[in-house]
Structure 1
Amino acid sequence: MIAADRLIAAALMALSVYFMVHATVLPIGWNGETGGPGGGGFPFWLSAIMFAAAGGILIRTFRPGARTGSFFDLTMIRSVLAVVVALIVTIALMPVVGTYIALPLFLFWYLRIFGDHRWAVTLPITILTPVFLFFFFEVTVKILLPKGITEPLFYPLYAMFF
């Protein structure tokens, strides 16, 4: 298990460095003209956070008492595959039905069906996450997310915020 943790952490760190280098093609600082971050800001800083998290995992594997033993069992593999398939379906749906439909569908499936969480947890997260993402990305930082066939529904919101 330690070897797998180290290998995956190192691979994620290398991938993070790759993303950070490519993000610097666009400006990563604050853009005074648009009043928001440069186009490479979010990819760069998210990659930096991913690098730090993977580095923490790598460091943890060298501490005395690190867990050893089997990492995968059949139940875990099934769960991981179910989530991977659901994410692939979600990503495939985004250009068709839009982010604001595909994401709540995934969240509902993940929280209520896969995770068996209560309705009191599932509904607020499923509804409020796309609302937050709309106001954060589209209104605040002016990054338009894919809307697919639902785009005409957003015209009144565009008129209000742009």
Structure 2
Amino acid sequence: MEIQAVFIDRDGTIGGTGHFIHPKDFKPYDFSNDAFQLLQSHGIKTFALTNQHRISRGEDLLNEFQEEFKSYGLNDAFICPHSENADCHCHKPKPGMLLEAAWKYNLDLKQCVVIGDVGSTDMLAAHAVGALKILVLTGWGKNSLEQYRHSWKDVDPDYIAENLLEAVRWLLKID
């Protein structure tokens, strides 16, 4: 498969604990920048893919997240600012952000990858569009596989990685 783009979840995948951390306080894991650089050195577009409902409550600003993702060298960020109870098309597990990216960048989502730590959002969104699904065990990853597996039992990840760097190395077939 020729990979056109990789979509990466923020909280628990790029850094943090899986819980929300404001962009000014958010720190990527030590290995995340290496993962971004590997993807970029292989000419693969990299996009953030994240639900950030605190924007809808006025606790954060969309541009704060956009600036954060730009600082990592990502090509773009697809951010759902809506409450999880809003009837929007973009809040993962709905695939709206992926569909928007496909339209904006002329992507075949079956040639794209979603890397995230939550099966019931990241893996379901990827599955809805036929993208390759990689679950990382950082953040909510272990709980997603064990305690919350019932919430996405009909979907299997294509690969389970310890972290984002391992996921990227597997994807690029680097030992």
Q: In proportion to residue count, which structure has more strand?
A: 2
Higher radius of gyration, 1 or 2: 1
Pairwise TM-score range, normalised by the shorter structure: under 0.3
Name the structure, 1 or 2, with higher relative contact order (CA <8 Å, separation 6+).
2
Q: What TM-score do you get using the length of structure 2 for normalisation?
A: 0.25
More helix by share: 1
